[in-house]
Amino acid sequence: MRSLLSSMKMPSEIPESFFAPCGMNCMVCYVHLKEKKPCSGCLGDDQFKPDRCKACSIKNCAKEKGFTYCYECSDFPCKRINNLEKSYKKRYNTSLIENSKMVKERGIMAFQVEEQKKWKCSKCSGVISLHDKICSNCHNTI
């Protein structure tokens, strides 16, 4: 699995397109980090984006309702978000709902700064994958 990861350093600024409607930081997504031609995030263009991300029911729901982020909806957190939240809390010890609340309360820039600190490898400044805790640059397991 480690050999599949592309070498990627944490950028000085995470593009806004990498904050997904559900609250995921696409910069630390395993799929994004392992690709030789990484996608430009959930809200970026569809070039190099995996089919499952293009067809994401959560992203498409937000778009159909005229929202960029799920937290803008009066139904937040809905059943889809709650189901994803349960999975991410159990499997990755991460709360997408808390991510969304932070962006809503403090802004996307504050969230990005915290995420850079949290997911930047202390050994090489690479990006650590949320999903497998492996640095995309030096391949150390965190």
The C-alpha atoms of residue 84 and residue 80 are separated, in whole angstroms, by: 6
What number of CA atoms fall less than 13 Å from residue 46's CA on the CB side? 7
The C-alpha atoms of residue 47 and residue 37 are separated, in whole angstroms, by: 9
Q: Note the pTM of the prediction, 2 decimals.
A: 0.86
pLDDT (tens digit per residue) in 30-74: 877 776 777 888 898 888 888 888 899 999 999 999 999 999 999
pLDDT of residue 41: 86
pLDDT of residue 75: 96
Per DSSP, the residues of 55-86 read: T-HHHHHHHHTT-SSGGGSTT-S-HHHHHHHH
- The pLDDT of 116-127, averaged and rounded, is 93
The C-alpha atoms of residue 25 and residue 118 are separated, in whole angstroms, by: 11
Give the distance from CA 110 to its chain's centroid.
Answer: 15
